[in-house]
């Protein structure tokens, strides 16, 4: 095993090291274990489970229900984007800072492929019929497509600027110098919100739950979980940035007042 960051979380406590992981980015030869678990197992497994639910519904009823078709289509769009733009995972907080141990491995093998498909599983067993010409499909499409656009475009802007600040696509963006060699974007998507990619992610999770109706809270578990996780992650990121960038971060917060939701939070 090639140790990229050797014993980064080694504490000497076997249970703690086992559950939290000892390294950030362990490898076996050329295989990046964390990336393999996150994308190859987690996201591809998520897509395959959803497709199996859709095919089961078609086999049972001849045609899929509109609600199930919407959920599966929305989630496959998310999975496909992750697989195509796999490099973007390398910049996420989970990839760059968290160790890979039993907890993360369990999440990639169980939580992502099965908990994330909860809406499709629910609709397979408790179908909810949406009217084709009613308002809900329009709202769902707006919520999903707008959420995906915010998620994708803000992520592309952040990662693109980080890789090449002199690229003509990003060089016009206004920034704040930090004194650490890195600048803070204060225009574009990140001049609108401090964490626009998180907002897009939350909107998409809501769009995946709405086709299930409101007769049960179960389909909304992943939305609530996503909202809570990203809210906490935003708070952690803000604290780290305040310590790292000091006055530059204070100036950024003064100019960009909202974290996740414009005019609200």
Least confident among 24-33, 89-98, 155-164? 89-98
- The 8-class DSSP code of residue 3 comes to E
Averaged pLDDT, 233-249: 91
Q: How far apart, in whole angstroms, are the C-alpha atoms of residue 104 and residue 93?
A: 13
pTM here is: 0.86
Q: Which residue in 257, 112, 256, 261 sits closest to 200, CA to CA? A: 261
Residues 255, 11: Cα–Cα separation, whole Å: 41
Please name which of 2, 102, 107 lies closest in space to residue 45, comparing C-alpha atoms.
107
Which residue carries 């952040």 as its tokens?
158
Q: Where are the alpha helices (DSSP H) in 39-113?
A: 44-61, 66-84, 93-97, 102-106
Pairing label, strands 26-28, 2-3: antiparallel
Q: Which residue has the higher pLDDT, 246 or 142?
A: 246
State the Cα–Cα distance between residues 157 and 213, nearest whole angstrom: 35
Q: Which residues contact 180 (CB under 8 A, 6 or more apart)?
A: 244, 245
Give me 6's structure tokens: 């050797």
Please list the residues that pair with 3 across neighbouring strands: 26
- pLDDT for 96 beyond 80: no
Angle at 238 between CA 232 and CA 242, to 5 degrees: 150
How is residue 30 written in tokens?
């050329």
Cβ(9)–Cβ(22) below 8 Å: yes
CB atoms within 10 A of CB 30: 6
Tens of pLDDT, residue by residue over 176-230, are 988 888 889 998 999 999 999 999 999 999 999 999 988 999 999 999 999 999 9
Residue spans per domain, the chain:
1-129, 133-265
């Amino acid at each position: 095993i090639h140790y990229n960051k050797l014993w980064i979380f080694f504490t000497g406590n076997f249970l703690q090291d086992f559950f939290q992981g000892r390294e950030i980015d362990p490898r076996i030869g050329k295989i990046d274990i964390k990336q393999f678990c996150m994308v190859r197992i987690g996201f591809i497994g998520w897509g395959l489970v959803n497709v199996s639910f859709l095919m089961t519904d078609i086999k049972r009823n001849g045609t899929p229900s509109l609600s199930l078709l919407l959920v599966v289509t929305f989630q496959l769009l998310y999975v496909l984007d992750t697989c195509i733009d796999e490099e973007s995972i390398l910049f996420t907080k989970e990839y760059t800072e968290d160790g890979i141990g039993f907890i993360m491995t369990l999440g990639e093998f169980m939580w992502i492929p099965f908990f994330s498909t909860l809406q499709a599983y629910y609709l397979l067993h408790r179908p909810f019929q949406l009217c084709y010409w009613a308002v809900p499909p329009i709202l769902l499409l707006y919520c999903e497509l707008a959420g995906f656009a915010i998620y994708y475009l803000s992520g592309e802007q952040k990662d693109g600027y980080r890789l090449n600040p002199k690229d003509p696509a990003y060089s016009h963006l206004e920034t704040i110098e930090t004194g650490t060699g890195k600048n803070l974007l204060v225009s574009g998507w990140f001049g609108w919100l401090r964490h626009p990619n998180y907002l897009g992610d939350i909107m998409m999770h809501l769009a995946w739950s709405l086709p299930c109706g409101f007769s049960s809270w179960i389909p909304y578990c992943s939305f609530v979980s996503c909202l809570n996780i990203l809210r906490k992650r935003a708070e952690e990121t803000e604290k780290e940035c305040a310590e790292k960038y000091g006055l530059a971060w204070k100036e950024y917060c003064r100019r960009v007042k909202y974290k996740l939701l414009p005019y609200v939070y």
